[in-house]
Amino acid sequence: MNDQVLGGDSGEELVWYDKLADIVQKHLKIALYTARDVKRIHKKNMGAEVVRKLRMLSQETKDPGLRIGIVVIIRNITKDSILARELYKQKLDDFVFKCLDFPPSIYGNTDLCKCAILTIQEMASQSPEIEYCHSLALKGTAKITRLIPDYVGEGEWHPQMLASVLATIQIYLVQLCSYRQLKGCPIPPADLRALKLRDLANTLLGVLKMGDRELPLEWSTVDFVTDCLTWIAYLQSSAILSLPSNKGVLLFVALCSSPSLVLRARGFLGLVNLRHPDCAVYGRVGRFCDPHWPKSQGIEDFIPRLAESEPLEDLPQLMAELFGEGIANDGTSEPPCTTFFARGKVCDAFEPAMRLVKFELYGPSDPDESYEALHKELFGSVRIDSTIRGAMLASLKAQEKYYEADVLQLSILMHQIDDLKRTGRTPEFAHKLYVLSRVLARNGMQRWPDMPYFSYAITRSQTGAEYTDDMSSCMSNPSSSKYLVDLAIFEGILNFFGIGLAKICLYEAPDSYRLAGMDHVKSARKLCIAAPTGGMHLGPMHQKICVILRFITNQLLENPPWDSNARDSWLYEAKEALAALQHDRSATHPEIRTAITDVIIHHKKAQKRWGSLVEELGKFEEVIADAETFHCSPTEVQDETERIDVAPETGDPKPDQSTISSTELKDDLSAKTDIYQAKLPRCSWCRKPSMGLKKCANCGNVRYCNQTCQRNHWRGKHRKECVSPEIAV
């Protein structure tokens, strides 16, 4: 075969990528032109052989034209999930990444790089399984980051290439957030370093820096960059915190004062993510405003209870570490001790245990009593060991106080998780405690369906509309104390705020979805306004949290800036509340408090460094339209004190969760082949497209990629629909 396809003086053939793909197909004696061609390959079971031929040619040829042809074929293959799986099994994706490294000085390599970038984006957006996208992200993030400066300046294809690169990075960052849940372990340190997220964050900030740009900034670029930065903060906060001159933090602070609601929300979410334990290590450990919540709504349909189904293989060892051997063995080896040694004497554990339970269920006996102060009074120290914990649980069970024992056990876990999150120590242990706490909370709801505590506990530090029913159940339960009801309302405030932020920040969410998010933030603000004025009977610590949330919710909602007198008053009260919480060494929601502190303290520095960007944003047509769509009248602040509504808005429209595809970009690089344009049938379970789907042998009404999808669909709902015999699992 002639290895000089692009020979000659003219470069016109460089744009005819499909013709180059035709040459490759004829040489290899394969056909991937249409959907029927792909179906024929599946029927003959030739998928592995087709990919093998492409892989062998990719290793042999050095001609840029043939390489372009191979890349185009790979791009078409990604449309069919079954063929794409074979592509990844044989590691043909490595060839596409390798195409980014060929020197641009050689004739044809520039166009090869362009085609490779679009194909890499397509591989990311069309990945047949999340695990493959994880692999792509680990291989490609650092490589693609190096390309960003090349496409910021002038160039015929530069805007399109920059958009494609940023879209790919965004997909990678979002998908990496599910790594912990799917793998059951953190991203390995070596892989995390290989991502070079600090370099990525620094490069993205450079894209926004006015003095470093050759061309005017576009809204689409700002939209991509700010979204990517919030995900970097979510995955690895040190990547942004370690940047020189604190410029990453200052950008987030500056965005909190921008004329765009979306950017204000992303700015604050970025600050919260920076101050929360990293998702790459901890996973989604009960965090305020989990930005992955909207993205995970479709995932849970296919991978049920991601965060709560993770097995705890060392459960006995963990229980022994927390509550002693007697509790871990459930008293089978020897009866657990019901006394403990403190303050120089042996003490019976029953009375301290009941006081802690009453504190959890009914609140402090006086306004100055706290969880820490109660521990000092009872045990002489804020921290207690497994012996004391085990003795308290054993004493309650000895008196047949089983509900109280379950309450105490779960409350100990939740307070310990708060402490570990605040200190940032032992992330793996904190994750185990979190998984155990979720298991105990759900078990408690099943064991004590008429008791309210576990309905509250299951909503604690969670983001998601699915928790509003549990919150309402706790509030309406006649057994709930006023303290427990107010705690449920407080968790509702955080949940509403978290849901609202996540919806507003979601990339390419429709206006209706963001308006629903805005309504959730308004609901949180209503409750925050009521809390300090006596509308709710929260404890001092929770009231202070409401004071600072009242300030930041209004800061995010108001555009144009709200009444200066009200703002100054609420700002002063927020500063006082933050100082009081710091003085009391409170462990409650440090990420929220620190994020709001950043907004207050760094406001002037942020305006000095990024003020020109914020001013420029106000001139964008998209931002002007945003301000008109999401305008919030300052008079609403006064109206919201008149009525307190804790019920969330129902019927929120779901966002379009489809990831941006390169077909949506202006793509003149190739005339699409039929296979690329075709709408292929989709698997009834994972919804991935393929021409090789297998019908259910009995009913014939559903199709599957493989046996795994068939089994999962059978477990889900097809068991009730299908007339076929039950599949042995």
Structure confidence by residue, pLDDT tens digits, 141-150: 999 999 999 8
Q: Are 33 and 50 spatial neighbours (Cβ–Cβ below 8 Å)?
A: no
SS (H, E, C) 318-366: HHHHHHHHHHHCCCCCCCCCCEEEECCEEEECHHHHHHHHHHHHHCCCC
Closest C-alpha among 392, 425, 419 to residue 407: 392
Q: Name every residue whose Cβ is closer than 8 Å to that of residue 672 and which is 6 or more positions away in sequence.
A: 18, 663
Angle at CA of residue 104, ends 98 and 108, nearest 5°: 90
Q: Considering the entire predicted model, what is its pTM? A: 0.82
The residue range of the domain holding 700 is 693-729
Q: How far apart are CA 283 and CA 433, in angstroms?
A: 12
Q: How far apart are CA 693 and CA 680, in angstroms?
A: 10
The upper half-sphere exposure of residue 520, i.e. CA atoms within 13 Å in the direction of its Cβ, equals 29
Q: Are 133 and 174 spatial neighbours (Cβ–Cβ below 8 Å)?
A: no
Q: Name every residue whose Cβ is closer than 8 Å to that of residue 310 and which is 6 or more positions away in sequence.
A: 181, 184, 435
Angle at CA of residue 410, ends 409 and 416, nearest 5°: 95
Q: Are 346 and 355 spatial neighbours (Cβ–Cβ below 8 Å)?
A: no
Q: How far apart are CA 494 and CA 521, in angstroms?
A: 9
Instruction: Encode pLDDT of 446-458 as tens digits.
Output: 999 889 999 888 8
Range with the lowest mean pLDDT among 154-158, 509-513, 553-557, 644-648?
644-648
pLDDT, position 669? 32
Phi and psi for 384 in degrees, rounded to 5? -125, 155
Phi and psi for 331 in degrees, rounded to 5? 75, 10
> Is 45 domain-assigned?
yes
Most confident of 278-287, 378-387, 474-483, 604-613: 604-613
Please state, as a whole number, how many other Cβ atoms lie within 10 Å of the Cβ of residue 112. Answer: 24
Angle at CA of residue 250, ends 249 and 254, nearest 5°: 120
Range with the lowest mean pLDDT among 228-242, 303-317, 613-627, 682-696?
303-317
Give the confidence band of 672 by pLDDT, cuts at 50, 70, 90: very low
Q: How far apart are CA 575 and CA 578, in angstroms?
A: 5
pLDDT at 726 over 60: no
> Is 521 domain-assigned?
no
Domain boundary among 101, 126, 151: 126
Q: How far apart are CA 693 and CA 705, in angstroms?
A: 5
Angle at CA of residue 585, ends 581 and 591, nearest 5°: 65
Beta-bridge partner residues of 345: 342
Q: Are 166 and 152 spatial neighbours (Cβ–Cβ below 8 Å)?
A: no
Q: Are 144 and 194 spatial neighbours (Cβ–Cβ below 8 Å)?
A: no
> Is 708 domain-assigned?
yes
Give the confidence band of 514 by pLDDT, cuts at 50, 70, 90: confident
Q: Are 517 and 503 spatial neighbours (Cβ–Cβ below 8 Å)?
A: yes
Average pLDDT across the chain, whole number: 80
- State the residue for tokens 């998908």: 175
> Is 37 domain-assigned?
yes
Range with the lowest mean pLDDT among 20-24, 114-118, 227-231, 689-693?
689-693
Q: How far apart are CA 226 and CA 507, in angstroms?
A: 10
Range with the lowest mean pLDDT among 169-183, 197-211, 394-408, 669-683?
669-683
Closest C-alpha among 362, 353, 427 to residue 384: 353
> Is 216 domain-assigned?
no
**Percent of residues, the chain, with pLDDT higher than 90:** 26
Q: How far apart are CA 78 and CA 70, in angstroms?
A: 13
- State the residue for tokens 């012996």: 387
Beta-bridge partner residues of 632: 559
Range with the lowest mean pLDDT among 39-53, 326-340, 385-399, 509-523?
326-340
Q: How far apart are CA 401 and CA 353, in angstroms?
A: 11
> Is 105 domain-assigned?
yes
Q: Are 703 and 695 spatial neighbours (Cβ–Cβ below 8 Å)?
A: yes
Phi and psi for 695 in degrees, rounded to 5? -75, 155
- Tokens, residue 167: 């879209």
Higher pLDDT, 54 or 331: 54
Strand, helix or coil at 579? Answer: helix
Q: Summarize the confidence of residues 629-657 as an average pLDDT.
A: 44
> Is 73 domain-assigned?
yes
Give, as one character, the DSSP assignment of residue 632: B
Domain boundary among 111, 126, 141: 126
Give the confidence band of 191 by pLDDT, cuts at 50, 70, 90: very high
Domain boundary among 73, 92, 126: 126
Question: Torsion-angle region of residue 544: left (phi > 0), alpha (psi -120 to 50) or beta?
Answer: alpha
Q: How far apart are CA 445 and CA 465, in angstroms?
A: 18
The upper half-sphere exposure of residue 154, i.e. CA atoms within 13 Å in the direction of its Cβ, equals 1
- Tokens, residue 227: 């979204």
Angle at CA of residue 194, ends 190 and 200, nearest 5°: 140
Give, as one character, the DSSP assignment of residue 291: T
Rg of the chain, C-alpha, whole Å: 29
Determine the distance from the C-alpha atom of residue 704 to the mean position of all C-alpha atoms in its chain, rounded to a whole number: 28
Q: How far apart are CA 326 and CA 324, in angstroms?
A: 6
Q: How far apart are CA 464 and CA 296, in angstroms?
A: 10
Give the total number of structural domains in the chain: 2
Q: Summarize the confidence of residues 59-82 as an average pLDDT.
A: 90
Q: How far apart are CA 237 and CA 233, in angstroms?
A: 4
Determine whether 466 is exposed, middle or buried from the number of CB atoms within 10 Å of its CB (0-12, 13-18, 19+).
Answer: middle
Q: Are 437 and 407 spatial neighbours (Cβ–Cβ below 8 Å)?
A: no
Please state, as a whole number, how many other Cβ atoms lie within 10 Å of the Cβ of residue 126. Answer: 21
> Is 110 domain-assigned?
yes
DSSP 656-676: --PPP-GGGS---S-PPPHHH
